[in-house]
Structure 1
């Protein structure tokens, strides 16, 4: 057994001692296992993986590089989630039976010592030291569908706005109905009252292209929507909340992931950007609306769900009636959305169906 004071030593080939003192908590962690080197820290970029151990320490961010790292037989890998570049290697190592831990960027930003010296090799070694502050990697496949849906939704909005602009140039009617859109996509302008201007022929061709593309985008949106809804089980606890449909539930599940990372409802509400901004001076306390610093997609999802919930959900409906004398319009709906977010947190956190009587 290694003595409690033994610490790892870094060298050009990485950490030489599999028992390592975690610098940030002062504890000794027995990282030795039956798989060789034990824990490896990895700094990830688009093209390369920099490891805290090994004689090479710099590998390609591709399958060949992953296989080279696996030859060291690690039992745990610690890395910083760097967006899409970290997803593939994390999933690859996980499916190979390696425990993958991720250190939140928020935690890293608070570690002044970590950011004091900046090299990729040094970062990898420091990541290895942060096992106690890391959480196990868990990728949510539904998130891919949700991000695709949102991507297509943004494209649809852009095409729709561009089409309305083009229609305004040649017509007094810029409203877009399904029937009109289909005719415009075919280049059928027989029922349109158009201005006969110099640029009209060019704009009409633009309208045809935009209408056709918008129709195709809407069809793809509907297809992805069905795929998201199919991923939400019929007996999912979120569907017990009146006002939360399958699409809203899919978006919430896809974006939030593990609800346990929000130990309190306030933290979840803040993540949604629905937390109130409070300004106080002496005995004076003033509410300045919501922070809007959280996830805009979740915030919109809860807002739209609240519009339905005030009609069908007894708790939200009662909340709406109790506060409509003090709040009005969007502020009242936003308050209902915040209440709905708290209910959603409770249902997910405790994994219990919604009960309006509680």
Structure 2
């Protein structure tokens, strides 16, 4: 069964297959080993916000053969796989997978659709049919009865889903439990159970950042030993945010992740250059801008943010790299919040440097 193509867009729902669950169905059943999570116990830290869980409302929505993530994203959201993604400055990465709740109707419809599709597909291998049949039996007439229909208002099925930005990441195997039942307001008992923080971390990966092209004076063509001023306008480089929301089963939570530009690093593209300041790092001004715009009368001044090239680029160009550091924070349902690792995003600009022409008098 082919996976749905996940796409991110402003206010658009993320749709993707619970691939890890299917892998584990096949691996577990064929090996004769089935690991089923025991429902969690009530915990003072669960649910993750006051009033976020209660009686289950059955929506019954499903897609034939697939379960889809109920997480939606809004704000400055980039298309899945496109550019503009913030890069963490450390080895931290957003979650590759997590667990979400599903109503009895949603989970039953998913399993039955998967079973029907597998059994009726021409040429389908017998072991695949046997595996999906055994999986269905667990929930229909085995460990559980009729998908826990009699307890539909008392809890939810929890299933593994993948972060659409990390569909092919081996880390998605970490969510390896088969779907399991959890009573309302009980802790699911798995470390990857979705919380506002996990939503915030997923939103981190979904943020679309503006292209990092600094304004230069002179623009793109400069002279040897002539200070080149560089700056970022406050109106163009302001904070951006993405809100990730989940309304699934009886869980209703959200988190907003905010990225704020705090510094610009200039790398001239050659060792024959000096930066202002010497570190090449221009910090945020009090008005939210970075650097200072050039104006007539400043020719003899040293720019607070800029470059001075010491050698001509000849017939070519230097590749100036401009990288912005973004400070990341989040806030979520129930007053939760905090900081996430800083991120960077940069791009290059071509700079042509010419020899200054002497004037004979």
Identify the TM-score tier after normalising by the shorter chain. under 0.3
Scaled by the length of structure 2, the TM-score of the pair is 0.24
Greater share of residues in strand: 2
TM-score normalised by length of structure 1: 0.24
Which of structures 1 and 2 has the larger relative contact order (alpha carbons within 8 angstroms, sep 6+)? 2
